Amino acid sequence: MKDSMVRVLFVVMLVGLIGSSANASDWCGKNNYGDGDKTSAVDTRTFTLAATGRLEVDGRTNGGIKVTGADRNDVLVEACVRAWADSQSEADNLVKTTRIETSGVIKAVNDSDNNHSSVSYRISVPRNTDLVLNAKNGGVKVDGVNGSMDLSTVNGGIKLSNVAGDIKGRTTNGGVSVGLGGNAWTGNGLDVETVNGGIKISIPSNFAANVEAGTVNGGFKSDFPELQLPKKEAKDRSWSRNKRVNAAINGGGATIRAVTTNGGVKIMSSGGTP
């Protein structure tokens, strides 16, 4: 029973960890997230890599990924390695023996069969970089990057802001948040989807795009007249499921698609990030 409780608390912490916008010490702090019977250890690793125009990160079992575009010509990787164990020495050893591979796919490797560990990443890349980011228990966040992106997680949200290119994102248990900037999408388009989670999209009022958004089980709200449900359908109780809109705003443009199965959809007219 206690092991189950530890796993639940562990996953909850991991999902929330990537969302922090605080400084490095808070991002990879030394808090003990065990249930009282466990103790924790933590270590931060920093690497500078040559930029190749493409970055692939495998978050493995536990850990979130945050990638930020910057005016730089290399890649800065910060890895937060954390572990829980019955004793401090065991936790320290698990952290110490965890290594980060940076040749090809960035990933953490540890020969121990103890799964009470995680590695989360904060990475700064050149603004024009293609991304492949995979996580299982942790969120995926991208800010200020233009490129081809394949983003996926199982238990965690996806948050995108000021991005461009050809982007696909999928999560099973987590919300999707998208903040668009400028007056049109640069690139082929955006396609994000979740099964269990809400969707929030922030779109500047003058943004030109074709928008497809919908939910099977959940509410639907939009600040854009073109992206609102027809009044008859909105009032019809028999049409309480499968709410979906597909329309052009400001003359149309690249396709912005965001859909969920179980969760609400909110489309806001704003220049900021939700």
| pLDDT tens-digit series, residues 35-52 | 567 888 999 999 999 999
**pLDDT for 251:** 95
Nearest to 114 by CA among 59, 38, 44: 38
Eight-class DSSP state of 184: B
**pLDDT for 21:** 34
Domain ranges within the chain, ordered by starting residue: 1-129
Q: Which two tokens stand for residue 56?
A: 């692939």
Say which amino acid occupies 18: I
Helix (H, G, I), strand (E, B) or coil at 163: coil
Say which amino acid occupies 76: L
Would you say 128 and 146 are in contact if contact means Cβ atoms under 8 Å apart? yes
Nearest to 158 by CA among 172, 143, 139: 139
Say which amino acid occupies 157: G
Indicate the average pLDDT of the chain. Answer: 86
Q: What's the mean pLDDT in 197-209?
A: 96
Alpha carbon of residue 17 to chain centroid = 11
pLDDT digits (tens, 9 = 90+) for 74-129: 999 999 999 988 889 989 999 999 999 999 999 999 877 666 889 999 999 999 99
**pLDDT for 11:** 42
The residues with which 190 forms a beta bridge, in sequence order, are 167, 256
* Cα 56 to Cα 77: distance, rounded to the nearest angstrom: 12
